[in-house]
Copies of this chain bind each other. A is one copy, B any other.
Amino acid sequence: MARVDFPEPVKALIAELKRLPGIGPRSAERMAVWFLQSPKAEPAALSQALLHAKESIVACPICGFFATKSFCSVCDDLKRDDQMICVVEQATDVLPLERSGSFNGRYHCLGGKLSPLDRVSPEDLNISQLLQRIDAHRSEVEIILALGSDVEGEATANYLADMLRGKNCRITRIAQGLPAGGGLEHADELTLMRALQGRRSF
C-alpha cells in the first residue's frame, strides 16, 4: 500500500525549515505543523520579515557590520572615538561588546577567523580593508583585538599582529581570565594560567 505522508506543500516547508542552523528533522516537522495549526502562528509575517531583511541589509563597506543605509550606525556616528578600532571575528560580535557599554570606538569585522582546516586563509578575511583604515589615519590608532581565545582566534590574532607591525598603531588584546560570577572550581587550567599571568595590582 502507498505510505501516507505529509502533503507536498508541508514537506516543502519542512525541507526549508530543516536547512536552518541547529534544526533537525523533528524540530522542522514540529515547526511546520505549528505554522499550520497554531492560532498564534503568523507565517505571512515571517515570510515578509525574511524578504525585507534580505533585501534591505548590506554589510557596511567600512567595518563590515550590518547596515541598512550606505554605512552602519557605528560608522555613521560622529561622536565615536576614531582613535580606537576593535577587531572582531563576526558582525554579531559587535552586539555583546556594545551591550557591555564599555567601548566607544569603532569596529572592524573580519568576517571569520583563520582556519586552514575550513580553508579560511587571510585573503578570505577583511584584513586589507583594516590596513587601509589604519593607513588613512594621521595619528596613532589603537587596534584592540577582541577575537576568541580558541586556536583559530589565537592564530588570527598572531597573524594580524604580524601584519600590523610597523604601522602607526598600538595593538592591544582583550584580557583573558576568570569569567564574571565564576568560581575557581569551575575554571579550567588554561583559564587559570592566563588569569594568573594577567594579574593586576589591587
Instruction: List residues of A whose CB falls within 8 A of some B CB.
Output: 1-10, 12-13, 15-17, 19-22, 27, 29-38, 40-57, 65-68, 72-74, 77, 79-80, 90-92, 94-95, 98-99, 101, 104
Contact A53 B43, CB 8 Å, known A66-B10, A68-B8, A74-B4: yes
Instruction: Give Cα A80 to B48, complex, Å.
Output: 41
Least Cβ–Cβ distance between A73 and chain B, in angstroms: 6
Contact of A31 among B6, B9, B21, B45 (CB under 8 A): B21
Instruction: Give Cα A1 to B3, complex, Å.
Output: 61
Determine if A3 and B101 form an interchain contact, defined as CB atoms under 8 angstroms apart. Answer: yes
Determine if B53 and A32 form an interchain contact, defined as CB atoms under 8 angstroms apart. Answer: yes
Determine if B27 and A50 form an interchain contact, defined as CB atoms under 8 angstroms apart. Answer: no
Determine if B12 and A53 form an interchain contact, defined as CB atoms under 8 angstroms apart. Answer: yes
Name the B residues within 8 Å of A46 (CB-CB).
Answer: 13, 16-17, 19, 47, 50
Instruction: Give Cα A80 to B41, complex, Å.
Output: 34
Instruction: Give Cα A17 to B45, complex, Å.
Output: 10
Starting from the known contacts A7-B72, A22-B30, A36-B57, 8 additional A-B residue pairs (CB-CB under 8 Å) come to A9-B52, A9-B55, A10-B57, A13-B49, A19-B42, A35-B50, A47-B50, A47-B51
Determine if B57 and A51 form an interchain contact, defined as CB atoms under 8 angstroms apart. Answer: no
Query: Which chain B residue lies CB-closest to A111?
Result: B37
Least Cβ–Cβ distance between A141 and chain B, in angstroms: 19
Name the B residues within 8 Å of A27 (CB-CB).
Answer: 22
Determine if A19 and B40 form an interchain contact, defined as CB atoms under 8 angstroms apart. Answer: yes
Name the B residues within 8 Å of A34 (CB-CB).
Answer: 20-21
A-B contact pairs, 18 of them (CB 8 A): A1-B104, A4-B94, A4-B95, A5-B95, A5-B98, A9-B68, A13-B49, A15-B49, A17-B46, A19-B42, A20-B34, A22-B30, A29-B92, A35-B53, A43-B53, A44-B51, A47-B50, A47-B51
